[in-house]
Structure 1
Amino acid sequence: MKLESQNLKRLDELFYSMQEANACFLGYPFAKDFNYEPLWRFLNFSGNNAGDPFEPGTYRVNSYAFECEVVDFFAQLFRAPDCGFWGYVTNGGTEGNIYGLYLGRELYPDGVAYFSRDTHYSVSKAVRLLRLEYAVVDSQPNGEISYDDLARRASGGRNRPALIVANIGTTMKEGKDDTLKIREVLRDVGVSQIYIHADAALCGPYAPMLSPKPAFDFVDGADSITVSGHKFLGAPMPCGIVLARKLNVQRILRAIDYIGSSDTTLSGSRNAYTPIVLWYAIRCLGTAGIKRVFHQCEQLAAYTADELNARGVSAWRNPDALTVVFPPVEEDIKAKWQIATEDVSHVVVTPGTTKRQLDTLIEAIADSGS
């Protein structure tokens, strides 16, 4: 295969455009501090992790073994029950959220889904796809779910199961819901059948290391958990991991003769490259490295909030959060730095974010009078 010169030029233009954009985005949680050159050789293969990674299949150009190690790493991190969990590498957090609610629906077909207003938009998509009845619960000012409003809404459906999406780091404010408190609230109003899916897209890798640790893992009552691979760990493409209790996964298991294996995933054929990338990242970092990198990012987030406040910009963040929240910025700043904005704007200090980048943005916001 050989491209004509004009098409090669277009590739060069695209590369430099992406390179420029990569140097000045601060509003979305994508780690930038990674180097996967040793893995490029794997792009020479049509790698396909089709079906269940824990079962051998007919197609052997796969990275099942590495995918299983990635799942095992997060199973230990999230205190999954021994031999009682299952998981796989997904295309990202949206797939993980749909998968978690899918398992909940299959367990409780007449369940009602509850999630807060600060929940990622993928959950609204998931409940429509799965045709789930749902209720949107109010949020507290810090982005955490309102437990009082949850109690009020769930009390009207106390005779039906509850399928809860708990946010372990909301999109705009990095608010964290408490799964232990959610279960307590629901039981107090008479709901006895409860399924909790924890969306830990950004915070998953480091949340278990916080003190105090947020209540979100399997011991704390979660039935499934999703985490993104590109947001904190760093990957050159969106990806994620979803884990769930094995008994719930077995309910959707189907044997597929075509691949010589079972399939318990949503996507079936899956990229064999992302498990290798995630394996490489966790082998390079380990839990100690994740903790070290988190503290570096957290210190920069604290610095950013302090500097904005010192310049008259009202900024804040949740405890231990990498997300700094401030009033909506002007359009030119939003466009240049790719700042996510709803009722507020925010910066997410992920690995690879530099003090120089943050200082430049701080000065721009302060000078604009935002």
Structure 2
Amino acid sequence: MLMNRRQFLGMSGATALVAVCSPQALTAQTLTHGAQQNVSATLKAMQQLAQQRNRLLGYPINMTTPPEEFFAWRNELAAAGFNQFSFNNVGNPYDHSHIPFNCHPFEKELINRFGAVYGFAPDDIWGFLTNSGTDSNMHGLYMGRTILKNRTGVMPKIYFTREAHYSIQILRDLLHLDWVVVATRPDGGMDADDLERQLNANPNHPALVVATIGTTFKGAIDPVDAIQAKLKGRTAYLHLDAALFGGYLPHTALAGDLLHSIVDPISKAKLQRYDSIAVSCHKFFGFPSPAGLFITTRTNFESFRAQFSQIHDPEYIKQVPGTITCSRDAVKPAEFYFFSSESAFARQAADAKAMLDNTGYLLKEMNNHYSYLQPVRANDRSNTVYFITPSKTVVDHYSLATMQIDIEGEWTPCAHAVVMPHAKKEILDQFLTDLRKT
């Protein structure tokens, strides 16, 4: 029997806690009628949201439902016993695990497959599936900081622009790194010449550089090769935050932008363009929950792990994992494995083409009919168009992201539309029509 409020308040703190949390008390608790109604109302609201998802234009989330084969894959995993009890991907997927209840084979294989997409050498690759794009960035920055500090004995400074994703500022603070602000070009991409000036102004510190491949608001691209040229002869680590663009660019004629290494046309030597890359799974791919890819070289990982093992050597799991997170989600890697097949890559190529074609269409129509909104597409790789903020009705209806940006020396309220696979031409046409009404 549940006690009333007067009886509860008459007890001491400890007695009250025991009374409320006792097995008898917990089993006696049921949802009130009001609570049940709230649950029903919430579910009904979620159903309504599902009907509105295609008009989400302000954020880089693919709202397309995965194909039926994905859900069949989920059922196949369940039929094999996966996710029927606690699975845990603790540890390094490339090492033997003493704890067998994991999906390391799937995780390792999907990293190898995506690593090949990004041009990593098959015998020099390491990575894992993270909880999110931010988690992937955190591992990249932590690895870079550790390697550079070990090489020089000096804490590196981190270089990125104000156009980078806000998670980089959070991680900079978390890792206690001094930030050097690098200027941007007019399109929003990093100014490599200013990077060189900043590097010269900080000669006694190694450089941890974050290049953004698709900046958050403008969709600009930091020039990887120009950055790498400025880092030549310096102790540096270059991490790519390719959260959105990293998903679709490899399936286009522009795939070379993200290749990990290239052959120098003069010396014929193989040149490494960056050290690690982070890509979000829930953005372009449309994976139903936040997750991320983190990929680096096996060489970098071993250099990092040598130092990591001095901080964290969990003898009882019989390996040094080299991941910040200890227990790791085993469900996401097993499910995301579906997105690494040849047929999945073919679907991604079709989605990538449609996205970029539709972005070009949106820009053209906005220039033809709404040039006063000053629409801009930073480059032909971008699926983002930004423009002067339209009416609040349009902003709210399409969940447009808004912020103040500098246009010709004047801070101007702007919005952007991110053309994801769910934003078909008919959605864009409706958006264009609604712009006319305001």
Fold similarity call, TM over 0.5 = yes
For residues 148 and 91 of structure 1, the distance between their equivalents in structure 2, rounded to whole angstroms, comes to 35
For residues 354 and 362 of structure 1, the distance between their equivalents in structure 2, rounded to whole angstroms, comes to 13
Aligned partner of 2:238 in structure 1 is 196
Which letter does structure 2 place at the counterpart of 1:316?
V
The Cα of 1:262 is off from its aligned counterpart by: 2.9
What's the Cα RMSD here? 2.3
1:63 aligns with 2:94: no
1:184-208 superposed Cα distances (whole Å, 9 cap, x missing partner): 1234xxx611110011111113323
Mean alpha-carbon deviation: is it higher for 51-60 or for 267-276?
51-60
The 8 Å contact of residues 163 and 196 in structure 1, kept in 2 or not, is answered as yes
Aligned partner of 1:329 in structure 2 is 390
1:205-247 superposed Cα distances (whole Å, 9 cap, x missing partner): 3323444545443215210101011111111101110011223
5 Å matches for 1:162-311?
Answer: 162-187=207-232, 192-213=234-255, 215-219=257-261, 220-250=272-302, 251=304, 252-253=308-309, 254-283=312-341, 285-311=343-369
The Cα of 1:328 is off from its aligned counterpart by: 2.0
The Cα of 1:321 is off from its aligned counterpart by: 1.6
Which structure's CA Rg is the greater one?
Answer: 2
Structure 1 residues 43 and 6: CA distance shift in structure 2, 3 A: farther
Which letter does structure 1 place at the counterpart of 2:231?
L
For residues 271 and 10 of structure 1, the distance between their equivalents in structure 2, rounded to whole angstroms, comes to 31
Structure 1 residues 213 and 57: CA distance shift in structure 2, 3 A: closer
Aligned partner of 1:45 in structure 2 is 85
1:315 aligns with 2:315: no
Structure 1 residues 351 and 72: CA distance shift in structure 2, 3 A: same
Which letter does structure 2 place at the counterpart of 1:320?
R
The 8 Å contact of residues 192 and 230 in structure 2, kept in 1 or not, is answered as yes
The Cα of 1:345 is off from its aligned counterpart by: 1.6
For residues 265 and 128 of structure 1, the distance between their equivalents in structure 2, rounded to whole angstroms, comes to 19
Structure number with the bigger relative contact order (C-alpha 8 A, sep ≥ 6) is 1
Aligned partner of 1:25 in structure 2 is 56
For residues 32 and 45 of structure 1, the distance between their equivalents in structure 2, rounded to whole angstroms, comes to 29
Q: How many residues were matched structurally?
A: 365
Which letter does structure 1 place at the counterpart of 2:135?
E
For residues 244 and 418 of structure 2, the distance between their equivalents in structure 1, rounded to whole angstroms, comes to 10
* Structure holding more helix per residue: 2
Give the TM-score normalised by the residue count of structure 1: 0.91
1:244-276 superposed Cα distances (whole Å, 9 cap, x missing partner): 122332322544234344321122222212112
SS in 2 for 1:173: coil
Structure 1 residues 25 and 174: CA distance shift in structure 2, 3 A: same
In the alignment, structure 1 segments of 5+ residues that lack a partner are none
Mean alpha-carbon deviation: is it higher for 53-62 or for 171-180?
53-62
For residues 311 and 95 of structure 1, the distance between their equivalents in structure 2, rounded to whole angstroms, comes to 41
1:285-320 superposed Cα distances (whole Å, 9 cap, x missing partner): 444332222111111111111111111242231113
Structure 1 residues 143 and 136: CA distance shift in structure 2, 3 A: same
